[in-house]
Structure 1
């Protein structure tokens, strides 16, 4: 058994696709119309056959309450591994990404948390040397 998909609930699929590809650097893998929305996934260019991140429409009331609750409590919806968290945070900040937690060492990792512009907080992290 392996993980094939994981999801984040997004307020706007077009805006999410632009942010996740143009800012974060993921690559669109699948886009299939499903009613008024799409089955829309992105992958890491470093692992195009790896886990797909589904940019799931945030329509259901439970999804809205869930994502709003996470954001209100400052909890990231998911985390991504990067080679150098501080360097990646600086790159993203230069692109206008808003951070709720700047890069900081937390035990064996450095983490940073930012707003994905479509209703979520995301975390990046890297191992400390």
Structure 2
């Protein structure tokens, strides 16, 4: 068993696509119209055939309260592995990304948390 797809609920798919591709560096994999939205996925350029991240519209009524509660408590909705949290933190800050937690060394991992501009907190992590 392996992870094929996971979702991040976003306020605006076009804005999310721009952020996840232009700022974070993911690549668009699918953009298939489905009603007024799209089946919109991105992948890591390091694993173009690997797991996909679905940029899912926030249309279900349960999503907004759930997501708002996570953000209010500072809980990331997703975690992305990076080679160097400190370097990625600097690169993203230079691109205007706002961090809610700076790089933090937790002995076995280093983590940082940022706002994805689409309603979510995302954690980046480097294992030591």
Using structure 2 for the length normalisation, give the TM-score. Answer: 0.98
**Mapping for residues 99-114 of structure 1, pairs under 5 Å:** 99-114=99-114
Equivalent-residue separation in structure 2 for 1:59 and 1:106 (angstroms): 36
Query: Is 2:34 the counterpart of 1:62?
Result: no
Superposed counterparts of 1:1-129, under 5 Å: 1-128=1-128
Give, in angstroms, the shift of residue 70 of structure 1: 0.6
Distance in 1 (CA, whole Å) between partners of 2:95 and 2:79 is: 19
List structure 1 segments (4+ residues) > 2 angstroms apart after TM superposition. none
Unaligned runs of 5+ in 2: none
Q: CA RMSD in A?
A: 0.6
TM-score (norm. length: structure 1): 0.97
Q: CA deviation at 1:22?
A: 0.2
CA distance in 1, matches of 2:102, 2:123: 10
Give SS of 2:14's match: helix
Q: Secondary structure at the match of 2:62?
A: helix
CA distance in 2, matches of 1:59, 1:11: 9
Please give the alpha-carbon distance, in whole angstroms, between the structure 2 residues aligned to 1:69 and 1:60: 15
